[in-house]
Amino acid sequence: MTEKAESTGEGQPASLATVTDATFDEVVLQSPVPVVVDFYADWCGPCRQAEPLLSRLSNTLGGKVRFTRLNVDENEQTAESYGVYSIPTFIFVERGTERGRQVGLLAESEFRTILKKYFDKV
């Protein structure tokens, strides 16, 4: 697993973790906090636009929600098992269970609304 560490502005690092087929279970399904998984590909323009959004959200919601990314080209098993055929697809997981999903890029305000819909403590 690789992580891009960033400052939260409060002295605490926030990260956007990259998960793989091998680490998905541990990082996402066993997470003690809710997780957003961004299914993406490097060649996908909207997927590249989502990364700064997820980084900002990770900075402001660090500790309440974990933000992760999974490259569908390199991790076909997980993408296939979750039925991800369009990207970007965001899957919202809490306590190992999918709470919902969103296909396509959203504005930050819309993304925050969806987070509140799926995760009680956000």
Whether residue 74 lies in the annotated active site:
no
**Residue tagged active-site, from 17, 28, 36, 47:** 47
**Residue tagged active-site, from 27, 35, 37, 44:** 44
Whether residue 89 lies in the annotated active site:
no
Q: Which residues contact 48 (CB under 8 A, 6 or more apart)?
A: 42
The three-state (H, E, C) secondary structure of 52-99, written as one string: HHHHHHHHHHCCCCEEEEEECCCCHHHHHHCCCCCCCEEEEEECCEEE
**Active-site annotation, residues:** 44, 47
